Amino acid sequence: MMLKTPNEIDIVRAKSSKITEVDFENLSFGNIFTDHMLVCDFKNGKWEKPIIKPYEPFLIDPSAKVFHYGQAIFEGMKAYKDNQDDVWLFRPDENFHRFNKSASRMAMPEVPEDIFIGGLKTIVDLERDWVKKGLGNTLYLRPFMIAIGSGVIAQPSTQYRFMIILSPARSYYQGEVKVIIAEHYSRAANGGIGAAKAAGNYSAQFYPQKLAQEKGFQQIIWTDDATHTKLEEAGTMNVFFRINDTIITAPVSERILDGVTRKSLIALAKREGINIEERDVLVNEIVKAAKDGSLKEIFGAGTAAVVSPIVGFQYQEHYYELPKLENSLAMHLKEEITKIQYKLADDTFGWTVKI
């Protein structure tokens, strides 16, 4: 069955839905996909018509540039269902603009708004049964673009594929997160691609991550690669530190991703009059604050985990434990952002977009 949507996306519906086979109470992140995917190819200098069709593997040439030169970017966002069964996106314009910033940095074509935002809305609408009600239930949305042009010469592709795939997700208790501060490895270079959601940034972290896990740490706090004195990100999240009642986080830069959760938490904190500073965060200062007891909290922030509290950190073979607080600002900010996402609080910022 081929339907036309108002925004010129062809839809070929799956013959049957897999939804009844899914155990929504026991989802492991990013493993199960909904019935459909969006596909839109870029060829001869222009974007073709997007199509939504059954989720399935596709054919690709062994010499496709994505395999050899990693020309690939992605976004991560979520859809939420409120108590009235309406489905909402959270700041999709931010992901759209960041996606195209990543595209430019990777010498890939920008994706037009009607394909990215229009495509998201259309496919999420089609899959709205996959968005479950209840705090913590979400549909994780993964727009991405890969270079499908062939040829083993290190030059930008002339053909690309933009896709959106969707995976139901449930927030889960991650266990205690202990981190280790990077003293040797790093995730981004000055003048590199750290500020882009480029595929290559992530696999580069796998090996250091494995070493950290072998030592008993769930995450790495990345430092600047030149001096390892500045604290920049936690795993694939932005990172915040609370010293007494001030929250500090590194400013976004060429090395640091401009996180949507990060900027939303900053706005929420400011609205509440919480003292929040965007400035370089030095390893020394955090170690000193841990020693004198003024370091109250560290937490990661990102779409997948929302806010991820950290119980302690390792630096130079010494482990610093953080206090267990009753009034955690991390938990408070998480609650505030979650209430907006699920339409349980007034969205005075205009962040939510109805499907």
Ligand X SMILES: Cc1ncc(COP(=O)(O)O)c(C=O)c1O
Question: Could you say which residues in the range 267-326 bind its own copies, by CB under 8 A?
Answer: none
One character per residue 232-261, x = contact with its own copies (rule: CB under 8 A) = ----x-------------------------
Minimum Å gap between C-beta 298 and its own copies is: 20
**Residue from 71, 122, 223, 238 in contact with ligand X (CB under 6 A):** 238
Q: Which does 314 bind (CB under 5 to 8 A by kind): its own copies, ligand X, none?
A: none
Q: 324: helix, coil or strand?
A: coil
Whole-number minimum distance, CB 56 to its own copies, in Å?
Answer: 8
Exposure string of 154-183, with b = 16+ CB inside 10 Å and e = fewer, is eeebbbbbbbbbbbbbbbeeeeebbbbbbe
Residues in contact with its own copies, shown as a per-residue x/- string from 55 to 74 under the rule CB under 8 A: x-xxxxxxx-xxxxxxxx-x
Could you say whether residue 141 binds ligand X (CB under 6 A)? Answer: no
Site for its own copies in 4-33 (CB under 8 A): 29-31, 33
Interacting partner of 61 out of its own copies, ligand X, none (Cβ under 5 to 8 A depending on kind): its own copies
Query: Whole-angstrom Cα distance, residue 112 to residue 114?
Result: 6
Burial of 267 (0-12, 13-18, 19+ CB in 10 A): middle
What distances in angstroms separate CA 15 from CA 33, 50, 165, 258, one per listed residue?
A: 16, 20, 18, 40
Q: Which of residues 34-53 bind its own copies (CB under 8 A)?
A: 37
Residues in the chain: 355
Longest CA span, the chain: 67
Binding mask 179-218 for its own copies (x = CB under 8 A): ---x-xxxxxxxxxx----xxxxxxxxxxxxx--------
Least distance (Å) between residue 104 CB and its own copies:
7
Q: Which 3 state secondary structure label does DSSP give 224?
A: coil
Query: Which residues, other chains included, contact 317 with Cβ-Cβ below 8 Å and sequence gap of 6+?
Result: none
**Among 130, 269, 253, 190, CA closest to 261:** 269
Q: Which residues bind ligand X (CB under 6 A)?
A: 76, 197, 233, 236-238, 257, 259-262, 301-304
